[in-house]
C-alpha cells in the first residue's frame, strides 16, 4: 500500500502546483483541474488531507479571480479547517489565508480580513519564509490604507518593502508601490502618487509582469489627467491598453478605454469620445461589472450635456440612477451574505477548535492508558518469571521423588507441567511484546533476508519431518539485503512458521517464499492447513485473539504470536496481511521497505 500511495500523493502535489499556476492564465481551467485533484486526494485510502487542502486553496484563488468573493470565503473556510486539522505550517496554508483575506477585504469585512492576514504573518514566522512574511505585511498595510489608518499602513508597508528587498522580490516590491499609488490617487495626492507610481512601473518592467504594467500605466494616466498633462496622460493610457491586451486583462483594458474617451472629451473632441463610449457600451455591459458601467454612463452623460443633447444626457442619468440603485442593492445583499459566511466560518472554526481540544484530551488520556498498560505488561511479565521458575524446579523435584508407577499422580504432574509451560510461553510472549511496543527495541542494520529465512526454516525442518509436513524455502533471488533487526524478524518468522506447523495436518505443505515486489522485500508463508474462518480473519493480529471454533481452541497457543509479528513488521516500517479459506490453508505476507 505504501508503494502505491506515495506516488499517488506526489502526483496530486504536482497537479496542485499546476492548477495554482494555471489560474493566473485561465481561472476556469485552473479551477477544473483543482476540483479533479481534490476528488483524487479524497479517494485515496486514507484520504490525502494535505492534497485536499491545497486543492481547495487553488479553488479559493480561482473564485477570487472570477470575482466570486463570497464563494472564495466559503471555500477558504473549508481549506482553513483542513489545514488546522493537519496542524502543520505550510505555504499552502499561508496561500489560503492570503486569498481568503483578500476576498474578505473585497467584501468590506476588514476585521475578518486583518485576522486572516495576521494569522498568515504568524504562519510566516513558523515557516521562516520571507516571501510569505512580506505578502502578509503588504496585505495588512493595504487593509490599513483602505481604512485611512495611514501611519499604521505606512509602518507595515515599510516592513514589507524591507522583506521583499531582502530576497530581491521585484514583484513584491512593485505590488507595495502599486498599492501606495492607488491610495494616493484616491486621496488626490498627485505628487506622491506619481513618485511611487514610477517606482512600481520600473519594478513591474524588471519583473516582466505585463498585468502589473497595464494597471500602473492606467493609474499614471489618471494622475496626469488630474494634473492636466493630457499628452502624458494619453501616453500612459494607450500603454495600459496595449499591455492589457497583451496579457488578456479585459477589465483593465475596458477601464483604460473609458479613460481614453474621457481624455478625448477633455481635449475638445466630444464627438469622438461619444463614439468610442457607444462602441464600448455593449462590451462593458457584457462584462457584468456595474462600476465600469457607472463610469461609462457618467462620462456619456457629461459629454451629451457638453454637446447640448440634454435628452440623451437625461437618458444616461436615468440609467446611472438605476445602476446606482443596483449597486446599492447588491452591496447590501452582499453584506448580508458576507455576514452569513463569516458567521458560518466562525462557527466552523469554533467547532474545529473544540474538536481539536477533544482530540488532544483523548490523545493524552489514551497515551496515559497506553503507558499504564506497557508498565503493567513489562512488570507483570518480569515479576512472574521467578514464581514460574520456582514451580518448574519444585515440579522436577516432586517428579524425582514420586513413584513412577503411580499413574494417577503422574497424570496430574503432566497437567501441571503443561500448564506451567503454557504460562512460561505466555510470559515470554508478553515480555517480548512489551519490549517491542516501547518503540526502542530494534537495532536496524543491513542483513540478508534469504540467509535469515534459511536459518529459520532449517530449525523447523526436524519438526516438520516428524509431523509428515513438507516444509520448503523458495527464493526468487540469491540474496536480498535489507535494513532489519535480525533477532526480532527471526522471532516473527518463528511465530508464523510455528503457527503453520501447528495448524497443518500430516501430509500437508508449507512454502516460505522470498521475493521482491514493487520495490519491497516480501516474505510469504503459505500453508495447506485448517484455514481461518472469514469472521475471525480481521482479528488474528490482535493481542490474545484466538479463532473461536473447537478445532483451533483444542490446539495450544497464547494468542500473542501474530500480535508480535505485526508489531515487529510495523516497527520495520512494513506491513503484514493474511489471506485464508477454511480447509484450504492460510497465507501470511510480510512486506518490508525497499531493499538496500
> Tens digit of pLDDT per residue, the chain (596 long)?
333 345 578 899 999 999 999 988 788 899 999 999 999 998 887 889 999 999 999 999 998 888 788 888 889 988 988 898 888 899 999 999 999 998 888 887 888 889 999 999 999 999 999 999 999 999 999 999 888 888 888 899 999 999 999 999 998 999 999 989 988 888 889 999 999 999 999 999 998 889 889 999 999 999 999 999 999 999 999 999 999 999 888 888 999 999 999 999 999 999 999 999 999 888 888 877 788 888 999 998 999 888 888 888 898 888 888 888 887 776 666 666 656 666 666 666 666 666 666 666 666 766 666 666 566 555 655 566 667 777 777 777 877 878 888 887 888 788 777 777 767 766 666 666 666 665 555 778 899 999 999 999 998 998 999 999 999 999 988 888 988 888 889 889 988 998 899 889 999 999 999 999 888 899 999 999 988 888 888 888 887 777 766 666 656 666 778 888 898 888 888 899 999 988 889 999 999 886 76
231/244 Cα distance (integer angstroms): 20
Q: For position 458, what pLDDT does the model report?
A: 92
- 570 Cα distance to chain centroid: 24
Pairing label, strands 470-475, 509-517: parallel
| DSSP structural state of residue 362 | H
Residue 439 is predicted with a pLDDT of: 53
Distance CA 234, CA 222 (A): 9
Q: How far apart are CA 333 and CA 219, in angstroms?
A: 30
In this prediction, residue 457 carries a pLDDT of 92
3-state class (DSSP) for residue 259: helix
Q: What are phi and psi of 168, to 5 degrees?
A: 55, 45
d(CA 201, CA 372): 67
Confidence at residue 345, expressed as pLDDT on a 0 to 100 scale: 61
> What pLDDT score does 243 carry?
93
- Environment class of residue 360 by beta-carbon count within 10 Å: exposed (0-12), middle (13-18) or buried (19+)? exposed
Which residues are CB-contacts of 138 (< 8 A; sequence separation ≥ 6)?
156, 157, 160, 172, 175, 176, 179
Q: Domain-by-domain residue ranges, the chain?
A: 362-441, 445-592
Rounded alpha-carbon distances, angstroms, from residue 438 to 371, 488, 560: 9, 14, 16
Structure-block grid coordinates of residue 218: 492606467
| Residue 207 near residue 174, CB atoms below 8 Å | yes
HEC string of 318-357 equals HHHHHHHHHHHHHHHHHHHHHHHHHHHHHHHHHHHHHHHH
For 195, the grid coordinates are 513618485
Q: Report the alpha-carbon distance of residue 170 to residue 207 in Å, rounded.
A: 6
Tell me the three cell numbers of residue 289: 461589472
Nearest 10 degrees: Cα torsion 415, 419, 425, 430: 170
Contact (CB, 8 A) for 575 and 569: yes
10 Å Cβ neighbour count for 465? 11
Give the integer Cα–Cα distance in Å for 287 and 259: 17
Residue 473 CB: number of other CB atoms within 10 A? 16
Check: CB of residue 452 under 8 Å from CB of residue 592.
no
How much helix, strand and coil, in percent to the nearest 5, is found in the chain?
A: 75, 10, 20
Question: Which residue, 25, 493, 459, 506, is CA-closest to 249?
Answer: 25
The whole-model pTM stands at 0.53
Contacts of 227 (CB under 8 A, 6+ apart): 190, 194
CATH class of the domain defined by 445-592: alpha beta
What is the C-alpha separation between 219 and 226, in angstroms, rounded?
11
362-441 folds as: Helix Hairpins (1.10.287)
Residue 544 backbone zone (phi > 0: left; psi -120 to 50: alpha; other: beta): left
Q: CA-CA distance, 512 to 488, in Å (whole number)?
A: 18
Angle at 461 between CA 455 and CA 463, to 5 degrees: 130
Provide the 10 A C-beta neighbour count for residue 415: 10
The runs of H, that is alpha helices, within 468-506 are 486-503
Amino acid at each position: 500500500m505504501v508503494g502505491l500511495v506515495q506516488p499517488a500523493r506526489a502526483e496530486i502535489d504536482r497537479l496542485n502546483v499546476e492548477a495554482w499556476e494555471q489560474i493566473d492564465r485561465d481561472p476556469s481551467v485552473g479551477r477544473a483541474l483543482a476540483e479533479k485533484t481534490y476528488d483524487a486526494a479524497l479517494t485515496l485510502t486514507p484520504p490525502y488531507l494535505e492534497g485536499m487542502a491545497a486543492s481547495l486553496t487553488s479553488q479559493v484563488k480561482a473564485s477570487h479571480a472570477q470575482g466570486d468573493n463570497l464563494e472564495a470565503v466559503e471555500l477558504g473556510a473549508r481549506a482553513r479547517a483542513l489545514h488546522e486539522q493537519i496542524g502543520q505550517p505550510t505555504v499552502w496554508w499561508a496561500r489560503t489565508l492570503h486569498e481568503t483575506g483578500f476576498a474578505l477585504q473585497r467584501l468590506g469585512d476588514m476585521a475578518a480580513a486583518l485576522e486572516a492576514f495576521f494569522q498568515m504573518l504568524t504562519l510566516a514566522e513558523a515557516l521562516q519564509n520571507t516571501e510569505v512574511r512580506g505578502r502578509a505585511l503588504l496585505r495588512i498595510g493595504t487593509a490599513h490604507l483602505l481604512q485611512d489608518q495611514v501611519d499604521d499602513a505606512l509602518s507595515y508597508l515599510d516592513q514589507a518593502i524591507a522583506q521583499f528587498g531582502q530576497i530581491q522580490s521585484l514583484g513584491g516590491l512593485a505590488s507595495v508601490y502599486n498599492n501606495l499609488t492607488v491610495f494616493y490617487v484616491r486621496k488626490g495626492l498627485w505628487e506622491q502618487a506619481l513618485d511611487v507610481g514610477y517606482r512600481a512601473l520600473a519594478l513591474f518592467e524588471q519583473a516582466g509582469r505585463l498585468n502589473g504594467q497595464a494597471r500602473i500605466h492606467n493609474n499614471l494616466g489618471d494622475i496626469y489627467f488630474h494634473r492636466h498633462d493630457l499628452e502624458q496622460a494619453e501616453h500612459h493610457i494607450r500603454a495600459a491598453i496595449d499591455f492589457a491586451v497583451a496579457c488578456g486583462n479585459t477589465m483593465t483594458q475596458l477601464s483604460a478605454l473609458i479613460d481614453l474617451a474621457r481624455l478625448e472629451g477633455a481635449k475638445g473632441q466630444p464627438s469622438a469620445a461619444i463614439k468610442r463610449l457607444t462602441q464600448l457600451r455593449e462590451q462593458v455591459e457584457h462584462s457584468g461589472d456595474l462600476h465600469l458601467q457607472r463610469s461609462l454612463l457618467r462620462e456619456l452623460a457629461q459629454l451629451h450635456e457638453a454637446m447640448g443633447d440634454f435628452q440623451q444626457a437625461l437618458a444616461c442619468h436615468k440609467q446611472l440612477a438605476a445602476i446606482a440603485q443596483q449597486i446599492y442593492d447588491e452591496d447590501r445583499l452582499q453584506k448580508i451574505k458576507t455576514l452569513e459566511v463569516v458567521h458560518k466560518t466562525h462557527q466552523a472554526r469554533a467547532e474545529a477548535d473544540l474538536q481539536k481540544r477533544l482530540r488532544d484530551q483523548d490523545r493524552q488520556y489514551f497515551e496515559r492508558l497506553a503507558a499504564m498498560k506497557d508498565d503493567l505488561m513489562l512488570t507483570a511479565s518480569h515479576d512472574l518469571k521467578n514464581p514460574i521458575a520456582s514451580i518448574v524446579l519444585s515440579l522436577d523435584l516432586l517428579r524425582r521423588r514420586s513413584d513412577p508407577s503411580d499413574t494417577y499422580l503422574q497424570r496430574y504432574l503432566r497437567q501441571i507441567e503443561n500448564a506451567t509451560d503454557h504460562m512460561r510461553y505466555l510470559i515470554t510472549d508478553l515480555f517480548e511484546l512489551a519490549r517491542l511496543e516501547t518503540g526502542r527495541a530494534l537495532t536496524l542494520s543491513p542483513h540478508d533476508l534469504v540467509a535469515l529465512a534459511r536459518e529459520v526454516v532449517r530449525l523447523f525442518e526436524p519438526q516438520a519431518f516428524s509431523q509428515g509436513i513438507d516444509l520448503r524455502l523458495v527464493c526468487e533471488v540469491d540474496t536480498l539485503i535489507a535494513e532489519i533487526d535480525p533477532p526480532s524478524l527471526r522471532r516473527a518468522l518463528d511465530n508464523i512458521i510455528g503457527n503453520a506447523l501447528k495448524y497443518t495436518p500430516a501430509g500437508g505443505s508449507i512454502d516460505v517464499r522470498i521475493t521482491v515486489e514493487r520495490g519491497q522485500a516480501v516474505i510469504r508463508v503459505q500453508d495447506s492447513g485448517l484455514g481461518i474462518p472469514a469472521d475471525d480473519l480481521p482479528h488474528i493480529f490482535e493481542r490474545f485473539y484466538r479463532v473461536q471454533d473447537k478445532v483451533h481452541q483444542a490446539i495450544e497457543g497464547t494468542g500473542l504470536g501474530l500480535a508480535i509479528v505485526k508489531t515487529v513488521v510495523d516497527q520495520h516500517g512494513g506491513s503484514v496481511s493474511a489471506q485464508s479459506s477454511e480447509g484450504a490453508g492460510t497465507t501470511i505476507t510480510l512486506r518490508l521497505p525497499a531493499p538496500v
